[in-house]
Amino acid sequence: MWIYERKLQYPIKIKNPDPRMAKVIITQFGGPDGELAASLRYLCQRYCMPRKEVSGILNDIGTEELAHLEMVGTLVKQLVAGVPPEELAKHGLGGYYADHGYSLFPVDGNGVPFTAAYFASKGDPVADLVEDMAAEQKARAVYENLIDLADDPDVIDPLRWLREREVVHFQRFGEALRMITE
């Protein structure tokens, strides 16, 4: 089970709305390498691991990814706060606004809705952990691309923090893979 904690994992304080960045950052909410895919990937895979330690790392990283999902959602929400619909449309969010208003919905940067086909759960520990390591590297690369697109330090700071977490998770999954193969 889970218990909700009434705080973000890392502070987000956007003073200047920026719909252009909201449109691209939302891919880490519902895109192929986003936090929703990450969380579901690990929480699905954890049921079929040969070692308790490896189920543990999947359980705990899968849980942390939910906190990251909340951070990305907060980023998007604050980036469009107070921005009128016509301004959203100028930045490519007109279609999004028509379907979802100011609510969060898992899509990628082009508005393509989330699909569970973004991740795998094979019941084969080596296949799953290698996928997980690749997933963390892909997410790191996306955060780096987003940082390249950003110019506001209030946006860059939490993106850099989220990027760091991908690096740590990659390291832990590598250790989990070695526990299984050595």
Partner 1 sequence: MDKKQETMLRDLQAMDIFLIDLGLYLDTHPCDKEALALYKKYNEQNNKMRSQYQELYGPLTIRHADGVDYWQWVADPWPWERLGG
Please state the closest distance from residue 18 (CB atom) to partner 1, in A: 15
Which among 137, 114, 120, 115 is positioned nearest to 48, based on CA atoms? 120
Tell me the chain's radius of gyration from C-alpha atoms: 17
**Which CB atom, from 145 or from 170, has the smaller least distance to partner 1?**
170
Q: Residues touching partner 1: how many (CB under 8 A)?
A: 31
**Which CB atom, from 27 or from 74, has the smaller least distance to partner 1?**
74
Please state the closest distance from residue 161 (CB atom) to partner 1, in A: 9
Under the binding rule (CB under 8 A), the answer on residue 4 touching partner 1 is: yes
Owner of token pair 């809705």: 113
HSE toward the beta carbon, residue 93, CA cutoff 13 A: 28
Task: List Cβ<8 Å contacts ≥24 apart for 141-145.
Answer: 141/33, 142/27, 142/28, 142/31, 142/33, 142/34, 143/28
Q: Write out the binding residues for partner 1, residues 76-95 only, by CB under 8 A.
A: 77-78
Residues near partner 1 (CB under 8 A): 3-15, 53, 56-57, 60-61, 64, 70-71, 73-74, 77-78, 168-169, 172, 175-176, 179
